Amino acid sequence: MARTKADIRTTYDRIAESYAARRRVPWPEVRSFIDSLPRGSRVLDLGAGHGRHATILADRGHRAVALDFSRRLLLIGRADEPRKGDSPIIDWVGGEATKLPFRNASFDASLCIAVLHHLPLESDRLAALAEIQRVLRRRAPVLVSVWAREQPRFQSRPAASAVDGDVEVPWTMPDKTVVPRFYHLFQKGELERLIIGSGLHGERFFSGAGNWFAQARSNG
């Protein structure tokens, strides 16, 4: 199942409006992490999409930087963003998770929610985590989530898909058109291995609602 980052970007540009309409409520795990941060933190929301988490960050008084590779999702987020007068409260940035356009040690915290499983190669996933490690200040926290391979809906998939964890998951558009989305499903222990390999210090690994979560810190 060959996919490139360009293919995946095209998919999200295509489904952007319907995706943004259906993805509004942050998960409790993300809210809990955001609420644990000192007020006024500069926080990177990596793979922010239309900003459902960046908006919560801004509401809590943080300086949110929302980065995504889908221009259309960023445009939706910017158009819907609450404002203070004429000034935006979220910094919207187009960019790649594997090559962040930020200086070393320039963030107090980061989110990486439902991002790594869309990167087609293990080297990409490791590079994205290494970039988070690079841009975080010393001992700064990050919350990462990925889809778990152990979800019941994937247990009946063909054996070939189960070997490497790569699958296509359909997204149904309002006109009933079905658009396939690439996912790399993570097995237990796989996220921990990548966290260690990236140079981040893993503090807590847990599961919830079909996801694996990792809470880690920059070694700085």
Q: What is the pLDDT of residue 160?
A: 38
Q: What is the pLDDT of residue 159?
A: 42
- The 3-state secondary structure of the chain, one letter per residue: CCCCHHHHHHHHHHHHHHHHHHCCCCCHHHHHHHHCCCCCCEEEEECCCCCHHHHHHHHCCCEEEEEECCHHHHHHHHHHCCEECCEECEEEEECECCECCCCCCCECEEEEECCHHHCCCHHHHHHHHHHHHHHECCCCEEEEEEEECCCHHHCCCCHHHHHHCEEEEEEECCCCCEEEEEEECECCCHHHHHHHHHCCEEEEEEEECCEEEEEEECCC
pLDDT at 14 > cutoff 80? yes
Task: For residue 184, list its beta bridge partners.
Answer: 166
Report the distance separating Cα 131 and Cα 196, nearest Å: 13
- What total number of domains does the chain contain? 1
Indicate if the alpha-carbon torsion angle 126, 132, 137, 142 is positive or negative: negative
Would the pTM of this model clear 0.75, i.e. be above it? yes
- Domain that residue 105 falls in: 5-217
* Total length of the chain: 220
Amino acid at site 197? G
Tell me which residue of 19, 119, 5 sits closest to 77, measured CA to CA: 19
Average pLDDT over residues 118-135: 97
Report the distance separating Cα 130 and Cα 76, nearest Å: 28
- The CATH number given to whatever domain includes residue 86 is 3.40.50.150
Burial group, residue 17, by CB count within 10 angstroms (0-12, 13-18, 19+): middle
The number of beta carbons lying within 10 Å of the beta carbon of residue 167 is 21
Using one digit for the tens of pLDDT, what is the confidence trace for 28-61?
Answer: 999 999 999 999 999 999 999 999 999 999 999 9
Using one digit for the tens of pLDDT, what is the confidence trace for 65-121?
Answer: 999 999 999 999 999 886 655 556 899 999 999 999 999 999 999 999 999 999 999
Burial group, residue 145, by CB count within 10 angstroms (0-12, 13-18, 19+): buried
Q: How confident is the model at residue 138 (pLDDT cuts 50, 70, 90)?
A: very high
